[in-house]
Structure 1
Amino acid sequence: MNYEGLNDTQIWKLISADDRKAFGYSFKLYAKALFRYGQKFTSARQVVEDAIQDVFLDLWNKRKTTNIDQSIKFYLFTAFRREIIRKLSRLRMQEPMDYFTPEHLLEASYMEGLIVQQGKNESNQKLYKAIRNLSERQREAVYLRYFANLTYKEISGMMGISVEALYNLIFKSIKVLKASLRESVQYQTK
């Protein structure tokens, strides 16, 4: 069966009906994105991988009682965020979101395309510097919106803030990025 043409609701119906291939497809579809997101919390690769495995195992075990109406991705990101924070708290190894480095953001194909167009090395450095000017919450919100492609409503639920507050947070983040990039261009032309 070709799962690529199915939406999340259809895939979830197959998973809840014990379709292991549909479950494997959802793992293949979302595991890398969850891994990249987990690296924003910690550099401990094994902790991130364990959290991903635990989330998917829990999803499979609860497939008969879990109801996913629209977005498997949102469900997974939300469950994963709780799981990674729980694991890190338990292990007392939580790193600050400062590890949420710009290098990880550049993995997204859209950003890579922009960087290639602007002249790789120089533009990378400007973007790295600009992203470092964002707060931890701003970096997380920008990552979830533009690189994980979650909706404002989904992100607001994950981060525990209102949609309006999230709009403001992302707006301010973009403003900081633009100002930082503009400043680096002006500095360079002097």
Structure 2
Amino acid sequence: MNYEGLNDTQLWKLISADDRKAFGYSFTLYSKDLFRYGQKFTGARQVVEDSIQDVFLDLWHKRKTTNIEQSIKFYLFTAFRREIIRKLSKLRQQEPMDYFAPEQLLEASHMEGIILQQGKNESNQQLYKAIRNLSERQREAVYLRFFANLNYKEISGMMGISVEALYNLIFKSIKILKESLRESVQYQTK
């Protein structure tokens, strides 16, 4: 069966009816996005990978009783966010702070990873510098909206803020990015 043409409702019906191939397809479809999102929280690759595995394992075990009302992607991002925060909180109590170095948070996110890969292009280097001016929460909101392509309602639910507050957060983030880039261009032309 070709799962690529299915919408989330159809895919979820197959998964909840014990279709392992549909479940595998959903893992293939979303695990890379979850991994990139997880790197935003920590540079500890194993913690991110374990969290992804745990979320999918839990979903498979609860497939008969779970009702995904919105999208599978939204469900997975929400469950993954809770799982990785839970794991990191537990590690904070047990492990040294190496897992939580701010440099890793900046270097590891998908958004910045793309920019670093194209580091030869000066405008991308400027954008990377501008992104560093955003708070963690701003980077998370921008990532979820523009890279994970979640809608404002989904993101606001995940982050625990109102849609209006999310609009403001993203608006301010974009404003900071524009100002940082403008300053960078002005500095270079002098």
Decide whether the 8 Å contact of 2:112 with 2:128 is kept in 1: no
Runs of 4+ in structure 1 over 3 Å off: 96-100
Shift of the alpha carbon at 1:120? 4.1
Q: Tell me which residue corresponds to 1:11.
A: 11
Aligned to 1:170: 170
Match of residue 104 from structure 1: 110
SS at match of 2:166: helix
Q: How many residues align?
A: 184
- Counterpart residue number, 1:32: 32
CA distance in 2, matches of 1:105, 1:143: 7
Q: Which moved more, 1:163-172 or 1:124-133?
A: 124-133
Unaligned runs of 5+ in 1: none
% identical equivalent positions? 83
Give distance in 1, aligned partners of 2:129 and 2:144. Answer: 20
Task: Answer whether contact 1:41 1:96 (CA < 8 A) is retained.
Answer: no
- RMSD (Å), alpha carbons: 2.0
Change (3 A) 1:74 1:104: same
**Matches of 2:121 and 2:177 in 1, distance apart?**
18
Quick one: structure 1 residues 47 and 7, their matched pair in 2 at CA, closer, same or farther if it must change by over 3 Å?
same
Native 8 Å contact 1:100 1:139 kept in 2: no
Q: TM-score, normalised by structure 1?
A: 0.90
| Counterpart residue number, 2:124 | 124
Deviation at 1:95, TM superposition (A): 1.8
TM-aligned CA deviation for residue 98 of structure 1 = 5.7
TM-score by length of 2: 0.90
Residue ranges of structure 2 left out of the alignment (5+ in a row): none
Whole-angstrom CA distance in 2 between matches of 1:101 and 1:57:
29
